[in-house]
Chain A
Amino acid sequence: MSTFILLTITGLGLGAMYFLIASGLSLIYGLMGVLNFAHGAFLTVGSYASWWMSDHAFDGIHSLLLRFLLGAACGLAAGAVFAALVELVLIRPLYQRHIEQVLVTVGLSLAFVALVQGIWGTDAHPYAAPGWLHRTTTIFGAHIPNDRWIEIATAAAVLVLLQLFLHRTRYGLIIRAGVENRAMVTALGIDVRKAFTLVFALGGVAAAIAGVLSGVYFNTIDPSQGTSLLIFAFIVVVIGGLGSVGGSAVAAVVVGLLQQYVNYYASSGIGDMAVVLLLGLVLLARPRGLAGAFAT
Chain B
Amino acid sequence: MAVAVEAATLLEVKDLHVNLGQSHVLQGVSFAVREGGVTALLGRNGVGKTTTLRAILGLVGRRGTVRLDGTDLTSLATHRIVRRSVGYVPEDRDIFAGLTVEENLRLAERDAEPRYDLVYDLFPELRQRAGQRAGTLSGGQQQMVAIARALLNDNRLLLVDEPTKGLAPALVADVARVLERLSELATVLLVEQNLGVVRRIANDVVVLDQGRVVHTGDARGLLAQPELVRRLLSVSAAGQP
Contacts and interface: CB of A to CB of B under 8 A. Distances in A.
Contact of A295 (B88, B90, B98): B98
Interface SS of chain A: helix, strand, loop or mixed? helix
B98 A187 contact: no
A295 B98 CA distance: 8
Q: Which of A174, A189, A296 has the most CB of B within 10 A?
A: A189
B198 interface: no
A186 B59 CA distance: 9
Contact of A189 (B90, B99, B106, B110): B110
Given A177-B96, A296-B98, A186 B107 contact: no
B206 to A, nearest CB: 21
A31 to B, nearest CB: 13
Interface in A169-195: 170, 173-174, 176-177, 179-181, 183-192
Contact of B59 (A173, A176, A187, A293): A187
A294 interface: yes
A296 B149 CA distance: 23
A263 B98 CA distance: 38
12 contacts: A173-B99, A176-B99, A181-B96, A187-B57, A187-B59, A187-B94, A188-B107, A189-B79, A189-B82, A191-B79, A294-B98, A296-B98
B79 A180 contact: no
Interface string B99-136: 10001001110100000000000000000000000000
B83 to A, nearest CB: 5
B83 A189 contact: yes
Interface of B: 57, 59, 77-79, 82-83, 88, 90, 94, 96-99, 103, 106-108, 110, 149, 153
B82 A187 contact: yes
A222 B83 CA distance: 49
B36 to A, nearest CB: 23
Contacts of A191: 77, 79
Contact of A173 (B57, B90, B106, B149): B106
A188 to B, nearest CB: 5
Which 6 residue pairs across A and B have the least CB separation, nearest first?
A: A294-B98, A189-B82, A186-B78, A184-B94, A177-B96, A189-B83
Given A184-B90, A191-B79, A295-B98, 14 more contacts: A170-B106, A173-B106, A177-B99, A179-B98, A183-B59, A186-B77, A186-B82, A187-B59, A187-B82, A188-B79, A188-B149, A189-B79, A191-B77, A294-B98
Contacts of B79: 186, 188-192
Interface string A78-108: 0000000000000000000000000000000
A174 B193 CA distance: 32
A38 B78 CA distance: 29
Nearest to B103: A173
Nearest to A191: B79
Interface of A: 170, 173-174, 176-177, 179-181, 183-192, 293-296
B88 A173 contact: no
Given A173-B99, A176-B99, A296-B98, A187 B107 contact: no
A193 B153 CA distance: 22
A179 to B, nearest CB: 8
A245 B59 CA distance: 28
A181 B94 contact: yes
A294 B133 CA distance: 12
A147 B94 CA distance: 46
A176 B149 CA distance: 17
A186 B90 CA distance: 12
Nearest to A180: B96
Nearest to B93: A184
B106 A187 contact: no
Contacts of B77: 186, 191
A190 B82 CA distance: 9
Nearest to A184: B94
A179 B96 CA distance: 10
A208 to B, nearest CB: 29
Nearest to B86: A189
Contacts of B110: 188-189
A149 B94 CA distance: 44
A15 B107 CA distance: 34
B92 to A, nearest CB: 10
A248 to B, nearest CB: 16
Contacts of B107: 173-174, 177, 185, 188, 190
A194 to B, nearest CB: 10
B99 A187 contact: no
Q: Which of B79, B103, B110, B149 has the most CB of A within 10 A?
A: B79
